[in-house]
Amino acid sequence: MSRWNELFNSEGHEGRIRLEDGANSLLPTRREHVHPPPIDPKEVTKICLRLKHQIEQVIPYEIEEEKVTKANSPIITQAVLDTANKAGGEDKTACVVYCLLIVKKWFKKQANAELWDADLHDVRAIAAEMMAKRIIEAEEDMDYLMEEVLLKRYATLVDGEPTEPANAVEKAVDLHAVTVIGSSGYQKCISYLWRGWIVQDDEDPTRFVQYENKTNTNLWAHLDPDRMRVPRYQNWVQITFSLIFLGLYTGAINTINADADLDIVEGLLYIFTLGFICDEVNKFWKVGRFYISFWNMFNSALYALLTVSFIFRMVAISHSPDENNEKDNPRRKFNELGYNFLAFTAPMFWMRLLLYLDTFRFFGAMLVVLKVMFRESLIFFLLLFVVLVGFLQAFMGLDIAEDQVMDDIGFVMQAMLNAIMQSPEFEGFDNFAPPFGLILYYIFTFVVMVILLNILIALYNSAYEDITGNATDEYMALFSQKTMQFVRAPDENVFIAPFNLIEMLFLILPFEWWMDDARYDHLNDCVMAVLYSPLLIVTAFLEQREARVVRNNRKRGEADEDVTHEWEQVLHECDFEADGWDKKVQSTRPNVEFDTAVLEVKKLQEEVKEVKELLLKLTEKSDGWGNDTLGGSKFDKLGQSSGSVDREE
């Protein structure tokens, strides 16, 4: 927990920076021992401006988005990419991808500020993103790509002050640049971060380095508590604790104690809940309002209901079983109320599993769809709120005009909610100043059921089509965001809830305030080694196995993560050049780099060029013959020769 305190010691500055960058990630970048970026922020800003100027010249007016995004784009040509790479000169080429993402953000802001040219700026933003993707995919040196281009942090100037250093991986996640995220080099970098093959340097957290024991086949070398920082292992622990949490809830709700006693299963359930609450409060206190998201609010609602259930259970236990009579026993009453709140949370417990299953492709894509649908629902609920308030005020006005008691508000609210749920009830509204009440309810039913609900269905349909049409990239963006949540601000000592209670009660309170850092870190490592020992043994065997695979791949000259598929098992026995198969394929393969029309035009240009050269040769020959016959050159030679003969005579 010590690094958390250093991480967020300037929350106000963090909020301003994140507002400027438009970032909406879960946790901010680590702040401890922040080193200056490798390139001066002013120079990085100049490179961004050069790239912005280039894109404005490449796309001077609004064009179709497809011309920019397709593989054989006539806009984003290789010459354009070569020029973009030269924006940083010889020694600053690594920051070009980061600068293109900054330019994308600038164009998006400009589109919001200049609505009359919004489409033009949106296309330019897409062009900047496509250029970044093409540059990433064109880089063949993977070590240089990951360590210098994607993971090295840079900063720009805003109001004369440098922004918080960030790398291209973080910036792409913050900007939701799915095109860049979907590139092969980016995904390979995310895979390395997820596996823990690339880790943050302990001495310089702004740098990412290769895991030193990546090829070490010694089992003991991988039994390291610090490996719990690996996102993959943290995700495993979270899924395990979520399943245990669900199991404790199932055991508690299926073994109701009528005498209001608190058994072990229910006690563990509330201990887990306390650990999760402390974790949420700690992160919100450190991060601020940027931590708030749909799942945070969902979890907070679940923990709040469990807290209410626990309070009622404690109130029930505080009463004696013999108080009052059997029917009005407050112990039994509060006990039933506590279990009612506990039973009410069952759907939320099962839905909570989706938060930790998003690493699986099916659940991840569906979560993206649900997220977009909920965001689109805000438009519907805003319109619905205005309509509800207006009609409710009308019904209450009719009720008051009839000098009746306003106890009909419950009836009106229920009837209006039934109409929203497509089950309207018209009985009873003829008592509201007839015929005005019944007419108003007819109008309300028409507005809600015919207009607003169809708008909601259209919004849901649009959101579903947009996401499912790009489901793969959206899933990769979700997975990248989850990975960066673990990487951007990892705790120095990883105590996942409910283990955070052990850290707070048995490490922070008794030891952190007086023990020196070296001894305190060693103590934390020992405790983590005990707590995570079952998982560390499993991960050590997995990493030992992966180390052997990496060694074999390097011996064969393949990538570290390479896997031999079934179609590659006999590939080494094939020689397509020797048997002539490659020559046949090359002679019949089509040219997909250009359109057919472009190829025909190029072919016609070559033919015209040949004809032109032939005409020039014929013209030169014709000119030479004309000079000899009509220019008198031959006659002059003849006269000179005759004159010389006379002199000789």
Please say if the pLDDT value at position 481 is more than 60.
yes
What is d(CA 65, CA 595) in angstroms, rounded to the nearest whole number? 17
- Residues sharing a CB contact under 8 Å with residue 381, sequence separation 6 or more, in sequence order: none
Tens-place pLDDT, residues 534-571: 999 999 999 999 999 999 888 888 888 888 778 777 87
334 and 465 both lie in a single domain: no
Overall number of domains in the chain:
4
Please say if the pLDDT value at position 199 is more than 80.
yes
**Residues of 63-81 as b/e, b for ≥16 C-beta within 10 angstroms?**
beeeebbeeeeebbeeebb
308 and 434 both lie in a single domain: no
Residue percentage of the chain with pLDDT more than 90:
34
Domain assignment present for residue 539? The answer is no
- Residues sharing a CB contact under 8 Å with residue 243, sequence separation 6 or more, in sequence order: 353
411 and 323 both lie in a single domain: no
Please say if the pLDDT value at position 328 is more than 80.
no
Q: Which amino acid is at 454?
A: N
What is d(CA 163, CA 16) in angstroms, rounded to the nearest whole number? 10
Residue 420: band (very low, low, confident or very high) from pLDDT cuts 50, 70, 90 = confident
Please report the pLDDT score of residue 324 as a whole number: 52
The answer to pTM > 0.85 is no
Domain assignment present for residue 398? The answer is yes
Please say if the pLDDT value at position 459 is more than 70.
yes
Please say if the pLDDT value at position 624 is more than 70.
no
Give me the long-range contacts of 181-185 (CB less than 8 A, separation at least 24). Answer: 181/473, 181/476, 181/477, 181/480, 182/133, 182/472, 182/473, 182/476, 182/477, 183/133, 183/136, 183/137, 184/136, 184/137, 185/136, 185/137, 185/139, 185/142, 185/145, 185/146, 185/150
Q: Which two tokens stand for residue 591?
A: 């040219």
Domain assignment present for residue 433? The answer is yes
Please say if the pLDDT value at position 302 is more than 80.
yes
Tell me how far the alpha carbon of residue 563 is from its chain's centroid. 26
88 and 191 both lie in a single domain: yes
Please say if the pLDDT value at position 279 is more than 60.
yes
Residue 377: band (very low, low, confident or very high) from pLDDT cuts 50, 70, 90 = confident
Please report the pLDDT score of residue 561 as a whole number: 83
Domain assignment present for residue 118? The answer is yes
200 and 280 both lie in a single domain: no
Residue 26: band (very low, low, confident or very high) from pLDDT cuts 50, 70, 90 = very low
48 and 177 both lie in a single domain: yes
What is d(CA 463, CA 373) in angstroms, rounded to the nearest whole number? 6
Please say if the pLDDT value at position 501 is more than 50.
yes
Picking from 149, 178, 211, the residue at the C-terminal end of a domain is 211
Domain assignment present for residue 453? The answer is yes
144 and 72 both lie in a single domain: yes
What is the overall mean pLDDT for the chain? 82
Domain assignment present for residue 408? The answer is yes
β-strands 157-158, 161-162: how paired?
antiparallel
By the 10 Å C-beta count (0-12 exposed, 13-18 middle, 19+ buried), 163 is classed as buried
> Using the 8-state DSSP alphabet, how is residue 147 labeled?
I
By the 10 Å C-beta count (0-12 exposed, 13-18 middle, 19+ buried), 614 is classed as exposed
Question: Is residue 76 within 8 Å of 127, Cβ to Cβ?
Answer: yes
160 and 46 both lie in a single domain: yes
Residue 462: band (very low, low, confident or very high) from pLDDT cuts 50, 70, 90 = confident
Question: Whose CA is closest to 127, among 51, 23, 188?
Answer: 51
Tens-place pLDDT, residues 203-221: 776 688 889 888 889 989 8
Please report the pLDDT score of residue 401 as a whole number: 55
Domain assignment present for residue 581? The answer is no
Task: Work out the number of other CB atoms within 10 angstroms of the CB of residue 434.
Answer: 12
β-strands 198-200, 161-162: how paired?
unpaired
- Which residues sit opposite 210 in a β-bridge? 198
437: domain range? 372-469
Picking from 211, 241, 266, the residue at the C-terminal end of a domain is 211
196 and 104 both lie in a single domain: yes
50 and 196 both lie in a single domain: yes
Q: Which two tokens stand for residue 1?
A: 């927990």
Domain assignment present for residue 633? The answer is no
Q: What is the mean pLDDT of the segment spanning 495-501?
A: 91
70 and 200 both lie in a single domain: yes
Q: Which amino acid is at 435?
A: P
Question: Is residue 369 within 8 Å of 464, Cβ to Cβ?
Answer: yes
Please report the pLDDT score of residue 13 as a whole number: 38
Tens-place pLDDT, residues 331-376: 888 888 999 999 999 999 998 888 888 878 778 777 888 877 877 7
The total number of residues shown for the chain amounts to: 649
Least confident of 228-237, 240-249, 618-627: 618-627
350 and 379 both lie in a single domain: no
Residue 136: band (very low, low, confident or very high) from pLDDT cuts 50, 70, 90 = very high
Question: Whose CA is closest to 173, among 313, 65, 25, 38?
Answer: 25
